[in-house]
Structures are given as structure tokens and as C-alpha cells.
Amino acid sequence: MLMPAGSGDLYEKRKGVYPKAVDGFYRRFKWAVMAVTLAIYWGTPWLRWDRGPYAPDQAVLVDLAHRRFYMFAIEIWPHEFYYVAGLLIMAGIGLFLVTSAVGRAWCGYACPQTVWTDLFQHVERFIDGDRNAQIRLAKAPWSAGKLARRLAKWGVWLVIAFLTGGAWIFYFADAPTLQRAFWNGTAAPVAYATTAVLTATTFLLGGFLREQVCIYMCPWPRIQTAMLDEKSLVVTYKHWRGEKRGSLKKAAAHPQQFGDCIDCDQCVAVCPTGIDIREGPQIGCITCALCIDACDRVMAQVGRLRGLIDYCTEDDAEAEKQGSPPRPLSQSLLRPRTIAYLTAWSAIGAAMLFALGARTRIDIAAQQDRNPIFVRLSDGAIRNAYTIKIRNMEARPRPVAVSTDGLAGAALWTDATPRDDASSRIVATVPADSVAKLRLFIAAPAVGPQRQDFRFIVRATDREGGGDSEDARFERP
């Protein structure tokens, strides 16, 4: 071995984290966020949305097999993937926006790793008891009782993990059908594999790796560290008010020497990542604000002002240190950077909405045969062949007519009809929500430019109408 594995310098033993239960404003807010996010995650695939007989009725569906993405009234085709790219860009800028306004709120409240870890920790407390009982149990030798508790805890975790992993697949197929197939054993192998993998990762990441994901694996804390500035909200221990720490007894004996912090360590006890916020801002702090709740309760008990640990920007902390009163949170939300992000975010959103409203739902593409480029027919005319694709992006069959513009004397026919039936216009019906492929022959007089540009025109011949055109080229010897 090149490295002395057990030397203690290169590798760090995991410190156990046993966060204590706490109640307060931020804890209740976290409960609410957890309820909403889990409801969205588990509920969304079961929402229905009527799209008529030719399209699925699942409100949100990523139909990989048929290459369609449905989201309520919006249907995205693969060639419109830039809408998804736009959504991802909006999600990115949205994270910047949230970070500039309220710091690492994503990490603290909405990140799946946070939500599921939180959920798993509640299960843990329910089975093992609160912090002290958990520590005792962890240190206790293995016994039937400990084994029973461990198996019970892991069992419940596994059920939650299975429900989590299992819910994911419903976004990719009709949920009620897939659920029946899943239990029948007739679902696609990929459904079982996905469920198994996501069950395993949920179980491991939520039950065991927890804060290690935030501290070692996730790139986002690093990016956020770079994005935070002196005007960002961070969870701050107001050391100028708290120091020097001392117990109530000591403070009573020497009233002038000690600050507000009574060194009760409640802020450390409740922390889900096991850090001490009094050491200052650090990468391990996901700003879940549970230490604020814990400290506020203690301050209330000892009759001191709340907010010894509180959300506070670095600038405000500096001002407070100089003696100005704490600024309300609402005043630190709006600033030029936040407004700039909000503007960019809204502009992209508005542009996408406009593009969605204005997009055409019928579309033509033409590819010319390259070998041979042209064919001389026995009557002397020249024939070119094209593969035409007409996309009908609406959930009903549509009659269309294809014609040419700018090619004099052109006669069109398809491989399904003889040349005798050639005419200046081809009619076809494109099935609902699909691409019709036509092999199209065009014959034109041999006299003319060697390369003649023209356009294919497709028009829907139903009442709604609409159409598209495509540049093409006719070649002669």
C-alpha cells in the first residue's frame, strides 16, 4: 500500500451526527416545504389532463418511447427541445436569484437531499428516540433490542426509499397502467432497474451519507460559496453580542464579563450537518436555520432578546457591530443583483411563453435524393426525387396539401401512384401527433437552370389552416 490507511492524517473517521428535535418558526416552515415538495413529487404523475383520443391523458409525462414531453397544455417534440433547455436555464438563473436574495435557501429547505434526510431523521427519532437516546444506542453493544430497533428503522427507510424510487418511473409512462404492470411483473425491465437503483440511492444517501453528500459530493455548495457576497443572507452567530460565552451562573456572578451566549450547545445539537455555527460561516452550513429556532427558545427561557443566531448579511452584521439596530429581513431581499437576476429570469420566461404561443403546429422538411441527383425520363423530362416529412404536432389527424412554388411545369406524384396521376399538388392526411413520410417525385422540363431553387409548401386544408414551407432545389443534367 502506498498510503498508510490508518495513519489518521490522510483519512477522517466520520463524526456521528444526531440532530435533536426542535420546534420553532423555521422548523414549521421546513415542515411546510417538505409537505409541498413531497406532495408535488408523489402527486404529479397522477394528475390527469384531457388531450382527446390521440394523446395520453397524463398531465406531466416524459414519453421517451414516443419522444414527446407533455406538461399540462404544452406538448414538446424532440426538435423543440430548446424549450427544455430554456427551462433548465431558467432553473439555473432561478437558483442564482434565490441565492442572491435569500442565500442557500435551496440547500436548507428544498433540495431533495435535505428533504429526504429530514424525513429519514424524523423516522429515526420516532424509532430510536431523540439525540441522547440515539447516541446511547449507537454506543451500546449489539443486543436483540438494538438489532430490533435497527431493523425497524432500516425497514421503514427502505419502504420510504422504495416509494421514492418507485414514484420516479411514473413520470415516464402512464402511471395507473404502469403501476398495475409493475405489480403484475409485466412492466419493462428498465422500470424495475430504475426503481431498484433509486431505492438504493435514496436509502444510502438519506439514511447513511446525509451531510457527507453536502460537504463532500455536491458541487452546489462550492458554487454558492463563490456566489455569496456581503449582501447575502447567511445564518450568522452574532458574536459581538454572544461573546464571551458563559453559563447563567457565571454571568450572574460577573454580569459585565459575559455576553448573551450561555454556551448551552443547543445550536450544535440540532444541526443536521453537525457543525458549530459559532465558528462562523462555513461550507457545512446549509442554512436550514434550525439553530436559530433552538437559540431563540433558549433566549426566551433565559429572558434575553431573540436572534443571537439569525439570518443576517455580512454588511448588516458589520453595521450591527457598530451599534445600529438589526435590519428587518425584508429590506435585504431587494438589491440590484437580485433585480438583475429576476429581470433575466422573467425575460427568458416571457420569451418562451411568447414562442410557445406563436409556434407552428405543422411543419415540412424535404430531403433530395443524392444518388442519383436526377433521372432522365423517356419523354425527355427530368425527374428529381425527394423524401418529404410532414409533422402534424396536434392531437388529431389533419388533411394537408403539398405543392411547389417557383418550379414551372412541375408535376408531382408519390411512390404510391403512377406518373399518370401526377399533378401540381399532392394531398395527404397526416395521422394525429405524428410524422408522415412521403416519397415524392417531381418531373419538370429538361430546359431550365441546372440548379433551380424552389420551395415546398404545405398547407393544412382543414378549417384551422396553417402551414409551412421549405427551401429545396431541382437539379438538371
Partner 1 sequence: MADEPTKAVDAATGTPFKGHEWDGIRELDTPLPRWWLWTFYATILFAIGYTIAYPAWPMIDSATRGMLGWSSRGALASELAARDAQLAPVHQAIAATTIAKLAGRPELMRVAVEGGRAAFKVHCVQCHGAGAAGSNGYPNLNDDDWLWGGDLATIEKTITDGIRNPDHADTRQSMMPAFGRDQLLTPQQVDDVVAHVRVISHQDKPNDAARRGAQLFADNCAVCHGAGGTGSRELGAPNLTDGIWLYGGDADTIRQTIWNSRQGVMPRWNDKLDKATIRMLAAYVHSLGGGEALPAAAPAPADNAAAQP
* Residue (144 or 416) nearer to partner 1, CB: 416
Amino acid at 181: A
Going by C-beta distance under 8 Å and a sequence separation of 6 or more, which residues neighbour residue 32? none
Q: Verify binding: residue 431, partner 1, rule CB under 8 A.
A: no
Question: Interacting stretch for partner 1, rule CB under 8 A, among 32-40, 87-95, 342-350, 365-373?
Answer: 365-373
CB 261 within 8 A of CB 278: yes
Q: Is 216 in the site for partner 1 (CB under 8 A)?
A: yes
Q: Is 345 in the site for partner 1 (CB under 8 A)?
A: no
Among residues 128 and 211, whose Cβ is nearest to partner 1?
A: 211
Looking at 96-104, 162-170, 176-184, 364-372, which segment touches partner 1 (CB under 8 A)? 364-372
Q: Minimum CB separation from partner 1 for residue 139, in Å?
A: 18
Least separation in angstroms between residue 344's CB and partner 1 is 32
The correct pick among 16, 78, 92, 372 for binding partner 1 (CB under 8 A) is 372
What's the one-letter identity of residue 251? A
List the one residue from 405, 415, 464, 471 that touches partner 1 (CB under 8 A). 415
Among 130, 243, 276, 369, binds partner 1 (CB under 8 A): 369
Q: What's the rounded Cα separation, in Å, for the pair 396 and 430?
A: 9
In the window 11-40, what residues touch partner 1 (CB under 8 A)? Answer: 11-14
Give the number of other Cβ atoms within 10 Å of residue 387's Cβ: 13
Least Å from the CB of residue 241 to partner 1: 20
Radius of gyration of the chain (CA): 33
Residues 274, 12: contact at Cβ < 8 Å?
Answer: no
- Residue 18: CB minimum distance to partner 1, A: 18
Among 23, 229, 279, 464, binds partner 1 (CB under 8 A): 279
Cβ-contact 476, 450 below 8 angstroms: yes
The per-residue DSSP string of 277-333 comes to GGG-S-TT-----HHHHHHHHHHHHHT--S-SEEEE-HHHHHHHHTTPPPPPTHHHH
Distance CA 80, CA 253 (A): 73
* Segment lying near partner 1 (by CB under 8 A), choices 34-42, 114-122, 156-164, 366-374: 366-374
Contacts 24+ apart (CB under 8 A), 414-418: 414/438, 414/439, 414/440, 414/441, 415/439, 415/441
Cα–Cα dist 128/148, whole Å: 10
Nearest approach in angstroms of CB 383 to partner 1 is: 7
- Closest CB to partner 1 among 69 and 441? 441
Which of 2, 9, 65, 219 binds partner 1 (CB under 8 A)? It is: 9
Among 26, 96, 182, 441, the residue binding partner 1 under the rule CB under 8 A is: 441
> Which set of grid coordinates corresponds to residue 131?
439525540
Give the position of cell 397522477: 46
With contacts defined by CB under 8 A, name the span among 9-17, 44-52, 126-134, 140-148 that binds partner 1.
9-17
Short-list 142, 94, 108, 127, CA closest to 37: 108
Range 76-105, binding partner 1 (CB under 8 A) = none
3-state secondary structure 238-292: CHHHHCCCCCHHHHHHCCCCCCCCCCCCHHHHCCCCCCCHHHCCCCCCCCCCHHH
> Using CB under 8 A, which of the segments 4-12, 115-123, 326-334, 403-411 binds partner 1?
4-12
280 binds partner 1 (CB under 8 A): yes
Least distance in angstroms from the C-beta of 476 to partner 1: 13
Neighbouring CB atoms inside 10 A of 138's CB total 11
Binding mask 383-402 for partner 1 (x = CB under 8 A): x-x-----------------
Q: Which stretch binds partner 1 (CB under 8 A): 114-122, 209-217, 253-261, 262-270?
A: 209-217
- Closest contact distance (angstroms) between CB of 369 and partner 1 is 8
Nearest approach, Cβ of residue 382 and partner 1 (Å): 10
Query: DSSP class of residue 209?
Result: I
Residue whose entry in the numeric block shows the C-alpha cell 433565559? 302
Give residues in contact with partner 1 (CB under 8 A).
Answer: 5, 9-14, 209, 212, 216, 279-280, 369-372, 375-381, 383, 385, 415, 418-419, 441, 446
